[in-house]
């Protein structure tokens, strides 16, 4: 069964960045070889690429959850991790990318055009890259950033120059079949066409595409019949063709009332891509009326009788044809080509196929002040800090490593966060939330200055004042060895091996 899918929701997760490595070069007779931890590899991107080999979004309908490859971790000896492989998803021309709010992110119209739908996370820096005059042998590395994870909506809007609209069984599919090489399913009952049919029409050395849009009936905008799901395929068309059945025997129907009913439904349909197609609203699109089935004598007589009235009432060109008998097709082809060529001259030239739309926008790391300090609405005396830089830095930090936390504090201080919290009224012990991580703020007067070097993985500024003294450590050692009674703190008590043995 051939299913036509023209709208899907994708759940995307780009690859996470690999972690940086903490390593010190070790070689015989070279005990101080220096840091040599490599960087983690970047996570793979998820890229949408336009190709002429795909005509529907069917594959995404069955596999909407998509995840790219993770970057590998760095290792010693300055070996960087491998970048995660990009995941390229092929989409047909005319694919429109929307975010979860319905805002247009990209209009993919040209074969070869690419769009980064989800960017992979950056790999974390190894300790070799973090070495500086202040930290000659860092005992920490940065964690890889997670890749972008969000939902996107893909809508397919056919790249047709001519859109055929009309009641079911008006002969739209037959017209496409006789004017092009397309072979749509044709029958004499309503809703034979369940998917848009596209055909390429050759007129001398010129060509244009024609699309048959199914299921447009009175009440379609309210969900009757097939509804308006397929009308998105005529949003890009240069001209709309009303295919009118002049041989219908249905009561209450005639060519003029059919056109009026279809125009009412088109008016009820609001185009979502006016600014992207550049063609204005559907109501402003050129029209041609085609009175079909002139091979039936009564139908041809009715068409000749109403031709002038329709031209006078609507102001559109009217042509009488018979798709079955292939009558009147050449004048129709040349008239359509004339309108299409005039429209092509007005349209902006297509972008280069090699163009790549970059999303999201790159962060300018040279800009300072990329954060905001706001009171926490749910907790008094608490604050929430937002901004690209601090939120990224939180994700990169290993909070089990004191030196890494000290490095984070230095970055915050240089960015101005410490000063920003003071101005906002933060006090020692105030809860501060950054990127989903909440901690108690303890102003570090030396933050941003060169750190006092201690053991690798430690930072003396984070050491608490209540650390046990050397005397307390000695007493704890005697307790573990059984030389003294843990619970007896009498004056003058001395360690007694005899007492322990007894």
Q: Is 54 helix (H, G, I), strand (E, B) or coil?
A: coil
Is residue 212 marked as binding? yes
As a three-state string, the secondary structure of 147-202 is CCEEEEEEEECCCCCEEEECCCCCCHHHHHHHHCCCCCCCCCCCCCCCCCEEEEEE
Q: Is 132 annotated as a binding residue?
A: no
**Residue 191 labelled as part of a binding site:** yes
Q: Is 313 labeled as ligand-binding?
A: no
Residue 292 annotated as part of some ligand binding site = yes
Cis peptide before 360 (omega within 30 of 0): yes
Q: Is 455 annotated as a binding residue?
A: no
Say how far apart CA 25 and CA 79 lie, in whole Å.
Answer: 12
485: annotated binding-site residue? no
pLDDT reported for residue 189: 44
| Superfamily of 372-462 according to CATH | GTP-binding protein OBG, C-terminal domain (3.30.300.350)
Starting at the edge strand found earlier in the chain, the sheet holding 437-440 runs 372-375, 382-386, 431-434, 437-440
CA-to-CA distance for 150 and 392, rounded, in angstroms?
17
CB-hemisphere CA count at 13 Å for 151?
7
pLDDT of residue 368: 46
Instruction: Confirm or deny that 395 is annotated as ligand binding.
Output: no
3-class DSSP assignment, residue 139:
coil
Distance between CA 140 and CA 144 in Å, rounded?
Answer: 13
In the structure encoding, which two tokens stand for residue 49, read together?
């690429």
What tokens does 439 get?
Answer: 């901690």
What is residue 222's DSSP assignment? G
356 is in an annotated binding site: no
Question: Contact 341/206 with Cβ under 8 angstroms?
Answer: yes
C-alpha distances out from residue 59 to 21, 146, 300, 350, Å: 39, 26, 45, 27
Taking CA atoms, 400 is separated from 234, 459, 486, in Å, by 58, 12, 32
For residue 192, say whether it is annotated as part of any ligand binding site: yes
- Residue spans of the chain under pLDDT 50: 1-3, 184-194, 220-221, 225-227, 270-279, 351-354, 365-368, 465, 467, 495, 497-502
Could you tell me the CA-to-CA distances from 99 to 103, 106, 382, 404 in Å, in that order?
Answer: 6, 10, 32, 36
pLDDT at 52: 81
Residue 173 near residue 185, CB atoms below 8 Å: yes
Q: Would the annotation count 56 as a binding residue? A: no
> Does residue 295 have a known ligand-binding role?
yes
Question: Is 169 labelled a binding residue?
Answer: yes
220, 167 Cβ separation under 8 angstroms: no
Read off the DSSP letter of residue 282. Answer: G
168 labelled ligand-binding: yes
Q: Report the distance separating Cα 125 and Cα 19, nearest Å.
A: 7
The CATH fold of domain 7-156: Spo0b-associated Gtp-binding Protein; Chain: A, (2.70.210)
Known binding residue 353? Answer is no
Q: Is 280 annotated as a binding residue?
A: no
Report yes or no on whether pTM surpasses 0.75: no
Annotated binding residue 309: no
On whether 323 is known to bind a ligand per the annotation, the reply is: yes
Q: Does the annotation place 14 within a ligand binding site?
A: no
Question: What is the reported pLDDT for 220?
Answer: 47
257 annotated as a binding-site residue: no
H-helix or E-strand spanning residue 46: strand 46-50
- What pLDDT does 210 receive? 84
The whole-angstrom separation of Cα 341 and Cα 238 is: 9
Helix (H, G, I), strand (E, B) or coil at 448: coil
436 is in an annotated binding site: no
Helix, strand, or coil (residue 431): strand
Closest-CA residue to 164 (of 234, 224, 103, 110): 234
pLDDT in tens, 292-303: 988 888 888 998
**Taking the domains of the chain in order of start, what are their residue ranges?**
7-156, 162-346, 372-462, 470-501
Q: Is 8 annotated as a binding residue?
A: no
Element (H, E) at 385: strand 382-386
286 known ligand binder? no
* 218 is an annotated ligand-binding site residue: no
Structurally, what CATH architecture does the domain formed by 162-346 represent?
3-Layer(aba) Sandwich (3.40)
Parallel/antiparallel/unpaired status of strands 46-50 and 95-99: unpaired
Report pLDDT for 426.
85
């Amino acid at each position: 069964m051939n299913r036509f899918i023209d709208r899907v929701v994708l759940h995307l997760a780009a690859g996470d960045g690999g972690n940086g490595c903490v390593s010190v070069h070790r070689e015989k007779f070279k005990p101080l070889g220096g840091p040599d931890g490599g960087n983690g590899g970047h996570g793979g991107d998820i890229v949408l690429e336009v190709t002429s080999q795909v005509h529907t979004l069917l594959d995404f309908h069955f596999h909407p959850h998509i995840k790219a490859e993770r970057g590998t971790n760095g290792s010693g000896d300055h070996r960087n991790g491998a970048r995660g492989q990009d995941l390229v998803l092929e989409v047909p021309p005319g694919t429109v990318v929307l975010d979860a709010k319905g805002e247009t992110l990209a209009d993919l119209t040209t074969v070869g055009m690419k769009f980064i739908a989800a960017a992979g996370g950056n790999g974390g820096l190894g300790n070799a890259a973090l070495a500086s005059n202040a930290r000659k042998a860092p005992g920490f590395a940065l964690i890889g950033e997670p890749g972008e994870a969000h939902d996107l909506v893909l809508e397919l809007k056919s790249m047709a120059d001519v859109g055929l609209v009309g009641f079911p069984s008006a002969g739209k599919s037959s017209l496409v079949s006789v004017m092009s090489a397309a072979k749509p399913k044709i029958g004499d009952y309503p809703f034979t066409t369940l998917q848009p049919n596209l055909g390429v029409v050759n007129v001398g050395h010129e060509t244009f595409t024609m699309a048959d849009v199914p299921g447009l009936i009175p009440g379609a905008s309210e969900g009757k019949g097939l509804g308006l799901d397929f009308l998105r395929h005529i949003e890009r068309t240069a001209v709309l063709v009303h295919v009118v059945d002049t041989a219908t025997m249905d009561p209450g129907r005639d060519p003029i009332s059919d056109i009026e009913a279809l125009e009412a439904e088109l008016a009820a349909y609001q185009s979502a891509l006016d600014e992207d197609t550049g063609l204005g609203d559907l109501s402003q699109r050129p029209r041609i009326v085609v009175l079909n089935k002139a091979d039936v004598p009564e139908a041809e007589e009715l068409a000749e009788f109403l031709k002038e009235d329709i031209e006078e009432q609507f102001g559109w060109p009217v042509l009488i044809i018979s798709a079955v008998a292939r009558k009147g097709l050449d004048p129709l082809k040349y008239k359509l080509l004339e309108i299409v060529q005039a429209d092509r001259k007005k349209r902006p030239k297509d972008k280069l196929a090699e163009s790549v739309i970059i999303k999201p926008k790159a962060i300018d790391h040279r800009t300072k002040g990329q954060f905001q300090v706001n009171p926490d609405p749910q907790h008094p005396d608490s604050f929430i800090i937002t901004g690209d830089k601090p939120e990224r830095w939180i994700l990169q930090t290993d909070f089990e490593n004191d030196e890494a936390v000290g490095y984070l504090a230095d970055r915050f201080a240089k960015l101005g966060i410490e000063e920003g919290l003071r101005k906002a009224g933060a006090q020692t012990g105030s809860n501060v939330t950054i990127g989903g991580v909440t901690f108690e703020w303890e102003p570090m007067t030396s933050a941003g200055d060169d750190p006092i070097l201690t053991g690798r993985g430690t930072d003396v500024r984070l050491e608490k004042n209540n650390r046990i003294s050397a005397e307390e450590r000695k007493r704890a050692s005697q307790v573990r060895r059984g030389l003294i009674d843990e619970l007896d703190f009498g004056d003058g008590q001395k360690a007694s091996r005899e007492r322990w043995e007894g």
